[in-house]
Amino acid sequence: MRTIDDLDVTGRTVLVRTDLNVPLDGGEITDDGRIRASVPTIRALAERGAKVVVCAHLGRPKGEVKPEFSLAPVAKRLGELLGRDVAFAADVVGDSARAAVAGLAEGGVALLENLRFEPGETSKDDAERGAFADRLAALAELYVGDGFGAVHRRHASVYDVPQRLPHAAGHLIAAELDVLRKLTEDVARPYAVVLGGSKVSDKLGVIDNLLGKADRILVGGGMVFTFLKAQGHEVGASLLEQDQLDTVREYLARAEKNGVEIVLPTDVVAATAFAADADHDVVPADAIPADRMGLDIGPESGALFASRLAGAGTVFWNGPMGVFEMEPYSHGTRAVAQGLIDSGAFTVVGGGDSAAAVRRLGFDEKAFSHISTGGGASLEYLEGKTLPGLKALED
């Protein structure tokens, strides 16, 4: 796979597919981590005299123009981080986009409006998607893929455009791939994996694959209650995927057979309602009251998880241990994050909510070996799937 170092970009128009899918609250960016992660590639191209045209998506507007999903706030923040003006096109491939691109000088940067305002971007119809890809590719001479968080999508800007232009990977994708190889091909052991988040079904593939690769798997978050129920324990009003119980039982049996240690919480924080001010107590994980829901792993479990990370050679973490956005249920996630730092291992935080939790809880990002920008993409890579956006860049 070529990188931008292999491209002659001076004076040429380069379309860069980035991941700028940041959370917004009333038009204000609440976490600019993905924008900051996109800066090194954009800056490197601009400093080499490229005319840089950035494209990205935000949210799921489903092919319609919806102002609340506009990338306008992102253009402003990107300009601040780059220390230069970023021209913003009010459309994706229309008159405004063409004018913004035509107005770029060498070293200039423009950002197109949300790709997903165009139905062709996400269309499952090859002809419709290809027609949009033709229009997008016509804006540039070269293509750089750097939106790792989208490489598992067979979308026009990710999969079809690089088939139409000379292409290469940006610094972010190159860095992500280097890390993922360390999790799959050259793993320093013991290899511990921490999985959280709300649903077991979101992580079935990765659990299935890791049962043959990891030395221990620590399970927390909302998904843990399906594991506890599969063991015959009462989980009260906690999140439960009834249809996954047999699958989880099979995983537990296979883990025991393969010598993979499954670590489950011994206590949980159980509340009367999904609210920060609800009555809540720490209860044994195998005795959650029928009228309460588990919203975090308990302090004993936090210490247990940290102890099972100590001495690991590699740790991959994807998914918070509880509803970390609410202070009473943030302590389990904090304990795991600190456990990664204290482990001395090669530590990878697998994007999405885990990365947001690290920043929200005030941890220094540099304390971790790598914080991924693509939770879903990382998981699919670890499942062993072929990712369309990476495949397109390899050709």
Token pair of 179 as six digits: 């890390």
60 is in an annotated binding site: yes
Give the separation between CA 20 and CA 74, rounded to whole angstroms: 7
- Is residue 189 marked as binding? no
281 marked as part of a ligand binding site: no
Residue 16 pairs with which residues in a beta bridge? Answer: 54, 144
Residue 116 is assigned to a ligand binding site: yes
354 labelled as ligand-binding?
yes
- Whether 203 has a binding-site annotation, put simply, is yes
According to the annotation, is 164 in a ligand binding site? no
| 154 labeled binding residue | no
189's tokens = 């052991």
17, 33, 34, 196: which one is catalytic?
34
Q: Is 325 annotated as a binding residue?
A: yes
Contacts of 276 (CB under 8 A, 6+ apart): 326, 327, 328, 329
For residue 134, say whether it is annotated as part of any ligand binding site.
Answer: no
Cβ–Cβ < 8 Å for 19, 154: no
Would you say 246 is a known binding-site residue? no
Tell me if 351 sits within 8 A of 318, measured CB to CB.
yes
Q: At CA 8, angle to CA 159 and CA 101, rounded to 5? A: 65
Q: Say whether 199 is catalytic.
A: yes
Residue 55 to residues 42, 96, 113, 166, Cα–Cα distance (Å): 11, 14, 7, 17
Task: Say which of 33, 147, 170, 376 is annotated catalytic.
Answer: 376
352 assigned to active site: yes
Tokens 């609410």 sit on residue: 326
State how far the Cα of 275 lies from the Cα of 162, in Å rounded to an integer. Answer: 46
E strand intervals along the chain: 13-17, 24-25, 28-29, 51-55, 86-88, 109-111, 142-145, 167-169, 191-195, 216-219, 261-263, 267-271, 280-284, 293-297, 314-318, 346-349, 370-371
147, 170, 352, 389: the active-site residue:
352
The reply, when asked if residue 302 is annotated as ligand binding, is: no
353 a known binding residue?
A: yes
Catalytic residue among 199, 249, 254, 360: 199
Residue numbering of the annotated binding site for ATP: 203, 294, 325, 351-354
* Binding region: 19-21, 34, 57-60, 116, 153, 203, 294, 325, 351-354
Binding-site members for substrate are 19-21, 34, 57-60, 116, 153
Q: Which residues are catalytic?
A: 34, 199, 352, 376
Q: What residues are designated binding site for (2R)-3-phosphoglycerate?
A: 34, 116, 153
